[in-house]
Each structure stands twice: as C-alpha cells, then as structure tokens.
Structure 1
Amino acid sequence: MTSALINLAVEEKSQAVTDWAARIGWVVGLLLFIALLYWLMREGWKWRGTLQGDLPELPAAPATAAEPRLTMAGRYHGSTTAGQWLDRIVARGLGTRSRAELTLTDQGVAVVRPGAQDFFIPADRVRGARLDKGIAGKVLTEGGLLVITWEHGDRQIDSGFRSDRAAEHPAWVEALTRPHHPNHDMEGAR
C-alpha cells in the first residue's frame, strides 16, 4: 500500500506557473492598441472641425429677449448637414452633446447649453422642424427627436434635440413650421 502511495505522489505534477511576462506584454499591447484607436478618433474629429472651419461664428441671443412662447429642457444631440443625418458638424462646438434649455420667442430659438457654447437660431433663419428618429450618433424611437432645420452662413443645418418630456415635441414642430401671429394663444402649447 505504501508503494502505491509513493507511486501516486511521484505521478502528481505541480500546477503550471503563470508566465507573468507574457501576460503583462499582452495587457500592455492591448492598452497601446486602445490608445492608438482613441488617438485616431480624436485626430479624425479635429480634422472634421478643420474641414468645417468656414462655418461662421454662431449667433448669440439678443441682449433683450422677447416674451417666451415655448420652453423646453432636455438634451442637445448634435447638428448635421440638412438632409444628411450622418454628416455631423463639429465646428464651432456644434458637435458637443450636452444638456440644453431651449426658449422660443418671436426673435428665434435660444439654445443654452451648460458646459458647451450657447447659440441662437434667428427666426428668419429657421427653415422648418420635424420629428425624427435619428441624427449622427443618436438613434431613438420614431418621433423621439425634435430636429430644427436652419440656415447658417451658406449651409442648411439640422440640429437635434430631445426634451425631457417628449410629449412637448409636437408643439415645437407646430410653432416652428407656421408663422406666429401675436393674437394666437400659445399658452396651451406650453
């Protein structure tokens, strides 16, 4: 019996030792690969901004604001060339997603973005509004995105917004696609 135990003890092998040098090499290689991909994406973003450098400065809201017709709190998801929902515009901060507060007045749409550049869409530059399901980098359910089409410089731009309360979107589309008459009561659309 003791010889059987001795034979059994001789036949057992110890566990293989982990090759730490190889593992560390793989981890370092993977981290370098991820860093390279991040750097390439960042350079692509900067290059896109350079190509769109002819975009004029964004309009600022008038110093004296008119009476608000509609307000909305939500998110700004980005801007694209009108009709080309994947052609993102990154120049002048339009590529920066952020929280946003929109205010519609007779003068236009004021977009206040904490942590990003605010901008103003003058009323005479608004070309339309619609409900859509996507804009570059963001796809939602049908009608989940308010897209305002406006003219800036020589470009038509689609800017995408999502309200914290999506039920507000149709009132915005209606208000932006038909002219406002001072005697029209917009209180019900708020």
Structure 2
Amino acid sequence: MTSLTTIASVHLAAEAEKKSAEVTDWAARIGWVVGLLIFIALVYWLMRQGWKWRGSLQSDLPALPSAPDAPGEPLRTSTGRYHGSTTAGQWLDRIVARGLGVRSRVELTLTDAGLDVVRPGATDFFVPRSALREARLDKGIAGKVLAEGGLLVVTWEHGGTLIDSGFRADRSDEHADWVTALNHLIHTTEGAR
C-alpha cells in the first residue's frame, strides 16, 4: 500500500507542476509594433526635413544651364550613373539644390561647347566649356565610395561655386579616356583665354 501511496503522491506532484503555456499578450505585442512603426516614420520624416533644410541653405545656387541648340559634334559619349555633386574639395558636403543631389542614370556627351548631362527622371544640365575646371579619377563622393579610380569626378564652376560631380560609366575602363578628353578640352580653353 505504501508503494501505491508513493505513486499517487508522485502523480499528484507531477500534476501540480504542470502549467498551461503562457498566452501571448497581443495588446503588448501590437503596442510594440505600432511604436516601432511610428519611430521609423519619425526617422524618415526627420531625414526628409534635413534634405529640405540643406536645399534651402543652398537656394542661392542659380538655375542649371541647359544644352545649347547646336552643341557641336560629340567628342565622347557614355552611359552610366550620376552619383551626386558636392562642394569642390569637400567630398561629403552634398549639394541638393536644383536637383543635383538626386542619383540617377546618366548619359554624358562631351562636345566642343561643354559637357551635356542627360538624366532620365531627374534634372538635366549642361556644363559650358568655360565652366569646366578639372577632371580626375577618385574613389568617393557623398554617399558613394568605390575602389580607387572607380569614379569620374568633374569639377566645374556655377554661380561662383566650385562643384564636384561624380559619375560612374557602365564600363569603368572608359574613365581614364574621359579624364584625358576633359582635361584636354579644359587646357585648350585656358590657352584661348
């Protein structure tokens, strides 16, 4: 009988230890999810406000020039990506005014008149030959860092501001030829002045 009593007491103790699984607190879980979504929305709103604020600080930048009706025969053409523009020599100081901060596909055409930058879905612009200052290979511009020489950077003047614009051709082996062609055009312009 003692063994029966022992078995019964063990069985009762095991039953007492059994608990039902905890029920998910849906109200708390939904509250956390809603709070997280509100936080993410707030961060994006603040980023947008910062972008607009930067644009208003740079509002003194004049309208971008457009290509002349007869720019001349193309010396070089290429397609690729436009990665943005910064204040010359300050690769993290992005310029967002006049649409220069918008990344996009790009079609570059160099003529004797200057550099035509056609950007589907963004503002096109033209850099007159007299505004071109330098072309070089670099590794980065605000928001984009590549291997050394992976970025074609064109320095130009607009409204009294020196601007660096970064491009990456679909075929990066074209970059050196672009630097040579642009610098040749710049130096022949300087000689004519």
The normalised TM-score by structure 2 is 0.90
2:18 is aligned, of 6, 12, 20, to 12
Please give the secondary structure, in 2, of the residue aligned with 1:78.
strand
Distance 1:42 1:26 in 2: 24
Q: Which amino acid aligns with 2:36?
A: L
| Structure 1: gaps of 5 or more residues | 183-190
Q: Which residue of structure 1 aligns with residue 161 of structure 2?
A: 155
Task: Say which SS state the counterpart of residue 65 (structure 1) adopts.
Answer: coil
Decide whether the 8 Å contact of 1:108 with 1:120 is kept in 2. Answer: yes
Aligned to 1:24: 30
Cα distance in 2 for residues equivalent to 1:5 and 1:94 = 77
| Structure in which a larger fraction of residues adopt helix | 2
SS of the aligned residue for 1:63 comes to: coil
Alignment of 1:3-152 (within 5 A): 4-152=10-158
Q: For residue 91 of structure 2, give the secondary structure of its aligned residue in structure 1.
A: coil
Q: Which consecutive segments of 4 or more residues in structure 1 shift more than 3 A?
A: 1-7, 179-182
SS of the residue aligned with 1:178? Answer: helix
Cα distance in structure 1, aligned partners of 2:117 and 2:25: 57
Which ranges in structure 2 are unaligned for 5 or more consecutive residues?
A: 1-6, 189-193
Q: Does the C-alpha gap of structure 1 residues 146 and 153 become closer, same or farther in structure 2, counting only changes over 3 Å? A: same
* C-alpha displacement of 1:120: 0.4
* In structure 2, C-alpha distance between the alignment counterparts of 1:10 and 1:83, rounded to whole Å: 75
Check conservation: 1:106, 1:180, Cα contact below 8 A. no
Alignment-mate amino acid for residue 79 of structure 1: S
Alignment length, in residue pairs? Answer: 182
Q: AA paired with 2:166?
A: G
Alpha-carbon RMSD across the aligned residues, in angstroms, is 1.7
Q: Secondary structure at the match of 1:92?
A: helix
Q: Tell me, yes or no, if the aligned pair for 1:70 and 1:105 is still in contact at 8 Å.
A: yes
8 Å contact 2:129–2:185 — kept in the other structure?
A: no
In structure 2, C-alpha distance between the alignment counterparts of 1:57 and 1:174, rounded to whole Å: 28
TM-score, normalized by length of structure 1?
A: 0.91
Q: Which residue of 2 aligns with 1:186?
A: none
